[in-house]
Amino acid sequence: MSSVRVLKKALRKELAGKLRVLSKETASQDSKLVTEKLLSLREYRNSQSVSVYISMDGEIDTREIIRNIFETNKACYVPRFTGSTTMTMVKLTSWDDYLNLPMNKWNIPEPHADEVREDALDKQGLDLIIVPGVGFDVERNRIGHGRGYYDRYITKCAEWAALNNRLPPKTVALALQDQMVEIGRIPLEPTDRKPDVLLTPCEELRDAHKH
């Protein structure tokens, strides 16, 4: 294992311990603040086709975001994992569809592997990808769970967009305040992708050169 991977593993473990003792009240308040920021964000308001992660403990709760996607008549796509390296985004048809999803091995709702569902890249592609993570810093660096699903998927969407003469989807990451670490703590690899925007309970962080 490379030294960067060893450092990432140690940081994930440290953050997992910190998030394990985070009170439900704090997590809920952070989620409420970040959700409000996202729903008023230009990138979200302008989007028609959104992929959103289904949250677990230690992440911004995305239930109200999923509800809003349906209320505002956007298309809603959620992750489906196939094998240890591949993630696709498949369509949910309604709020009830979301509520009835089966639990996967991580105890997160996930569309069943055998179920026929529209893939986000079958038709119009995505305008916006809402990205989870384990830790972040104010330069929008991100550390995920270590499998590289989102880094690979964002790259795949950019390639799909180029082939189909479309703009690549915007990426917005959501962070609890306790997921934020000091600059320099997140070990970086060439395959790591920064989100376009990072929303925390306190800040909206974006590339100063992009508007």
Tell whether 77 is in a known binding site. Answer: no
Tell whether 147 is in a known binding site. Answer: yes
Tell whether 148 is in a known binding site. Answer: yes
Tell whether 144 is in a known binding site. Answer: yes
Tell whether 209 is in a known binding site. Answer: no
Write the DSSP string, the chain: --HHHHHHHHHHHHHHHHHHT--HHHHHHHHHHHHHHHHH-HHHHT-SEEEEPPP-TTS---HHHHHHHHHTT-EEEEEEEETTTEEEEEEE--HHHHHTPPB-TTS-B---TTS---BTTTTT--SEEEE--SEE-TT--EE-SSS-HHHHHHHHHHHHHHHTT-PPPEEEEE--GGGB--TT-S---TT----SEEE-SS-EEE-TT--
Tell whether 9 is in a known binding site. Answer: yes
Tell whether 183 is in a known binding site. Answer: no
Tell whether 5 is in a known binding site. Answer: no
Non-local CB neighbours of 82 within 8 Å, separated by 6+ positions: 88, 113
Tell whether 54 is in a known binding site. Answer: yes
Tell whether 8 is in a known binding site. Answer: yes
Tell whether 149 is in a known binding site. Answer: yes
Token pair of 104 as six digits = 């996967």
Tell whether 125 is in a known binding site. Answer: no
Tell whether 162 is in a known binding site. Answer: no
Tell whether 42 is in a known binding site. Answer: no
Tell whether 153 is in a known binding site. Answer: no
- Residue list, annotated binding site for substrate: 54, 59
Annotated binding site: 8-12, 54, 59, 142-150
Q: Which residue positions form the known binding site for ATP?
A: 8-12, 142-150
